[in-house]
């Protein structure tokens, strides 16, 4: 019986690349690197913390579109007054949500002083709650837009690049995968 085998020899080549941190790149290379990472910060659930913030004050955001549709949908987890109280207690007085909550609470207080408790009054107060929800969802739409705009800003992209220790070739191309292939002796 004749046994045959083939042995493949591979020639190992050594290639040296200069891998640079973002701060070491020239201006053109930095611009190229920034372009490559333009949407890095918004590729995954970038809105998660805003949703969590809303839930902490009793609002569940169910969907949004910061583009052409320009909407934010949601519902109260607790009643409107409890949500407004949570906002006043937890959001700064310079925020849009705080201003919206204070307006709602003041309007509610004025109405309670003037009107007797009856079914018509309860309906009107529900209307106040609906308007408050609509205004609050608009505030959160603005928050979502602001956050998105920040995350795609040059400043935020550079922070992400530097925070993740990405490395680049001298022309600004991401080289992190090349670095992982290197054999360290």
Tokens at residue 59, please? 């609002």
The Cα angle at residue 73 between residues 129 and 138, in degrees rounded to 5: 70
User: Is the pTM here over 0.85, yes or no?
Assistant: no
First CA to last CA distance, the chain? 44
Digit-coded pLDDT (tens) for 124-176: 666 889 999 999 999 999 999 999 999 999 999 999 999 999 999 889 989 86
Q: What per-residue confidence (pLDDT) applies to 25?
A: 95
């Amino acid at each position: 019986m004749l046994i045959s085998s083939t042995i493949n020899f591979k020639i190992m080549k050594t290639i040296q690349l200069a891998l640079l941190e973002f701060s070491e790149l020239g201006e053109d290379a930095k611009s190229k690197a920034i372009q490559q990472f333009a949407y890095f910060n918004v590729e995954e659930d970038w809105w998660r913390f805003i949703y969590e913030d809303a839930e902490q004050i009793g609002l569940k955001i169910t969907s949004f579109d910061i583009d052409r549709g320009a909407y934010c949908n949601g519902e109260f987890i607790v009643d409107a007054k409890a949500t407004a109280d949570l906002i006043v207690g937890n959001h700064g007085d310079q925020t849009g949500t705080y201003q919206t909550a204070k307006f709602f609470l003041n309007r509610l207080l004025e109405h309670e002083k003037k009107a007797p408790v009856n079914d018509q009054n309860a309906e009107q107060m529900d209307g106040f709650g609906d308007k408050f929800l609509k205004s609050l969802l608009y505030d959160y739409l603005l928050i979502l837009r602001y956050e998105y705009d920040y995350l795609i800003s040059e400043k935020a992209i550079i922070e992400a690049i530097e925070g993740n220790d990405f490395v680049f070739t001298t022309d600004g191309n991401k080289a992190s995968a090349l670095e992982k292939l290197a054999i360290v002796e």
